[in-house]
């Protein structure tokens, strides 16, 4: 099954829900690249499944989660300005997987 390069970006008010979403992202094999941003490859069925898991964890009236699928060509065109990824979370070995 083909994989989808995926960004997940969120803004979640409650610590408990935010932690559960982060845990779900990590369990899906995504890598944290900023405090509320994950990146990685998901099989297409896992992309939808993770979206449903996250939906069940948040308050849809106040929280936001964005799941962005990217093709490799589009991903290579991304420009990182300023400090880029959080160096405490992302090392050069991890970045080499994507760039």
In this structure, what CATH number is given to the domain that contains residue 53? 3.30.70.240
87 has a pLDDT exceeding 70: no
Domain total in the chain: 1
Domain of residue 12: give its range: 3-98
- Measured CA to CA in angstroms, residue 2 lies from 5, 19, 24, 42, 43 at distances of 10, 28, 21, 8, 6
User: SS3 of 90, please?
Assistant: coil
- Write the burial class of residue 29 (CB in 10 Å: 0-12 exposed, 13-18 middle, 19+ buried): middle
Q: Alpha-carbon distance 52 to 59, whole Å? A: 13
Quick one: average pLDDT of 12-30?
A: 96
pTM: 0.82
Residue 3 reports pLDDT greater than 70: yes
Angle between helix axes 44-57 and 15-27 (nearest 10 degrees) is: 170
């Amino acid at each position: 099954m083909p994989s989808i390069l995926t960004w997940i970006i969120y803004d979640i008010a409650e610590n408990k829900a935010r932690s559960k979403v982060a845990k779900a992202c990590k369990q899906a094999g995504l890598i944290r690249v900023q405090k509320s941003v994950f990146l990685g490859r998901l099989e297409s069925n896992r992309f939808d499944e993770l979206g449903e898991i996250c939906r069940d964890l948040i308050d849809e009236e106040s929280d936001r989660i964005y799941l962005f699928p990217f093709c490799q060509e589009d991903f290579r065109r991304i420009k990182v300005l300023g400090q880029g990824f959080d160096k405490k979370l992302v090392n050069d070995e991890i970045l080499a997987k994507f760039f």
